[in-house]
């Protein structure tokens, strides 16, 4: 079979099956169009978060985030005192469960978890099954936390700012969830800083109290020694050496006490100013990035997919025959006609 014969054969096959090809192509176009229509519209919010620190903590906008996030590369963490990866914090199961457990007073005081599952059921595609809302509160929160994780994205951009995005099917719920994540991340950071400052203050205070008690005990020892040696010659070593040792110990304790008091005051000042602020530069408010599948584009794609498949299916037998003949020629060579052999023998 020559290429010309193949072309003529393909043309005849397509002409013969033209109605079948058109029908299958239209069916594929209709299927993909319906799929696009039934696919829920998604809304993506974006929030840029930046820390506000004290003037002594940073000298520029870039160093402000360095005060909040330490480390290199993508491993941006809060502080050297308590290193926490903020991206992992945002995507952690604990944070997602806390957001899922939040209640929305504007919607009947329902939890985010219940609102999220209800919203998915109301905007699901025909390929998705309905999600049963469990009666158990903990299981409800666990399911919702998994769904929140699939729509959440957190990263550090090139300007060293924390970017949080969330994708959902309802703009109102997307806004509520986005602000919920911001509140939980900010609260965690603020509580972490305050807890660290509080523990430092408590440690310094306990140290001051402990040294004060030791100094008082040295004073009591000196008083007791003085009472026992009322009629003793104070120039003797048995009196002078213990007294000198106690006085030396007391002087050392007073030095430690002064340092401890200074540390206590510093810790108290740190505790008073330990009020970090997470400032949202770009609020997760509308307009959102809307993602919607076009039925027209999907219909055109489906039509061409169906067209290609049916053409290949209709021409498959002819193409296989041509391929076999070409393979045979390549392996065994082109056969010589019989009349040509007879003339050669003569």
Residue 276 phi/psi, 5-degree rounding, is -65, 155
- Domain limits at 236? 197-273
* Per-residue pLDDT band at 235 (split at 50, 70, 90): low
Is a pLDDT exceeding 90 seen at residue 166? yes
Residue 339, in any domain of the structure: no
Helix axes 3-16, 316-332, angle to 10 degrees: 170
* Residues 99, 188 within the same domain: yes
* Residues 78, 126 within the same domain: yes
Higher pLDDT, 111 or 57: 111
Task: Give me the DSSP letters along 86-119.
Answer: HHHHHHSHHHHHHHHT-EEGGGTTEEHHHHHHHH
> Distance between CA 344 and CA 346 in Å, rounded?
5
Is a pLDDT exceeding 80 seen at residue 150? yes
Higher pLDDT, 322 or 114: 114
> Distance between CA 316 and CA 86 in Å, rounded?
57
Task: Give me the DSSP letters along 160-193.
Answer: S-EEEEEEES-HHHHHHHHHHHHHHHHHHHHHHH
> Distance between CA 211 and CA 214 in Å, rounded?
5
Residue 261, in any domain of the structure: yes
* Residues 175, 215 within the same domain: no
> Distance between CA 31 and CA 37 in Å, rounded?
10
Which pLDDT does position 21 carry in this prediction?
A: 83
* Residues 33, 60 within the same domain: no
Residue 202, in any domain of the structure: yes
249's tokens: 């110990």
* Residues 96, 219 within the same domain: no
Selection from 120, 150, 149 nearest residue 132 by Cα: 120
Summarised one tens digit per residue, pLDDT across range 12-60 is 777 788 888 889 889 998 888 888 877 888 899 998 887 654 444 433 3
- If one counts the domains in the chain, the total is 3
Interstrand relation of 162-168 and 152-156 (parallel, antiparallel or unpaired): antiparallel
* Residues 118, 8 within the same domain: no
Is a pLDDT exceeding 50 seen at residue 341? no
Which stretches does DSSP call E strand in 27-161?
A: 42-52, 103-104, 110-111, 152-156
Which pLDDT does position 230 carry in this prediction?
A: 59
List CB contacts of 346: < 8 A, sequence separation 6 or more.
none
* Per-residue pLDDT band at 75 (split at 50, 70, 90): very low
Bridge partners, residue 277, by sequence: 52
> Distance between CA 320 and CA 27 in Å, rounded?
27
* Residues 223, 140 within the same domain: no
> Distance between CA 285 and CA 287 in Å, rounded?
6
Average pLDDT for 132-154: 90
* Residues 164, 217 within the same domain: no
Higher pLDDT, 101 or 58: 101
Residues found in the chain:
346
| For the chain, the helix, strand and coil percentages under 3-state DSSP, each to the nearest 5 | 65, 10, 25
Summarised one tens digit per residue, pLDDT across range 171-208 is 999 999 999 998 888 888 777 777 877 888 888 888 88
* Per-residue pLDDT band at 236 (split at 50, 70, 90): low
* Residues 138, 57 within the same domain: yes
Which pLDDT does position 340 carry in this prediction?
A: 45
Least confident span in 37-41, 203-207, 218-222, 320-324: 320-324
Measured between alpha carbons, how far is residue 231 from residues 64, 184, 203, 221, 228 in Å?
Answer: 69, 72, 44, 18, 8
* Residues 145, 181 within the same domain: yes
Buried b (16+ CB within 10 A) or exposed e, 19-58: eebeebbeebbeebbebbeebbebbbbbbbbbbeeeeebb
> Distance between CA 4 and CA 74 in Å, rounded?
61
Q: Per the omega criterion (within 30 degrees of 0), is the bond before 287 cis?
A: yes
């Amino acid at each position: 079979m020559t290429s010309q014969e193949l072309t003529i054969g393909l043309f005849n096959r397509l002409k013969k099956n033209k109605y079948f090809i058109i029908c299958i192509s239209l069916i594929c176009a209709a299927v993909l169009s319906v799929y696009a229509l039934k696919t829920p519209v998604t809304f993506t919010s974006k929030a840029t978060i930046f820390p506000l620190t004290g003037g002594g903590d940073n000298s520029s906008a870039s160093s402000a985030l360095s005060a909040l996030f330490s480390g290199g590369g993508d491993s941006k963490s809060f502080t050297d005192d308590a290193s926490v990866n903020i991206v992992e914090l945002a995507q952690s199961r604990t944070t997602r469960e806390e957001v899922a457990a939040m209640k929305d007073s504007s919607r009947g005081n329902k939890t985010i978890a219940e609102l999220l599952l209800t919203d998915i059921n109301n905007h699901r595609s025909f390929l998705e099954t309905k999600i049963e809302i469990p009666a158990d509160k903990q299981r409800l929160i666990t399911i919702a936390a998994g769904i929140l994780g699939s729509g959440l994205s957190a990263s550090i951009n090139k300007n060293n700012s924390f970017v949080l995005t969330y994708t959902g099917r309802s703009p109102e719920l997307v806004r509520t969830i986005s602000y919920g994540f911001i509140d939980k991340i900010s609260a965690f950071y603020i509580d972490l800083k305050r807890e660290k400052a509080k523990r430092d203050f408590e440690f310094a205070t306990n140290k001051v109290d402990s040294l004060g008690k030791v100094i008082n005990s040295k004073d009591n020892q000196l008083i007791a020694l003085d009472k026992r040696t009322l009629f003793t010659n104070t120039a003797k070593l048995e009196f002078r050496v213990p007294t000198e040792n106690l006085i030396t110990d007391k002087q050392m304790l007073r030095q430690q006490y002064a340092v401890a008091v200074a540390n206590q005051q510093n810790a108290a000042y740190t505790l008073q100013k330990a009020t970090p602020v997470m400032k949202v530069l770009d609020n997760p408010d509308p307009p959102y990035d809307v993602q919607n599948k076009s039925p027209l584009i999907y219909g055109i794609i489906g039509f061409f997919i169906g067209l290609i498949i049916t053409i290949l299916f209709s021409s498959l037998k002819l193409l296989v025959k041509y391929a076999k003949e070409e393979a045979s020629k390549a392996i065994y060579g082109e056969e010589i006609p019989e009349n040509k052999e007879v003339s050669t023998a003569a």
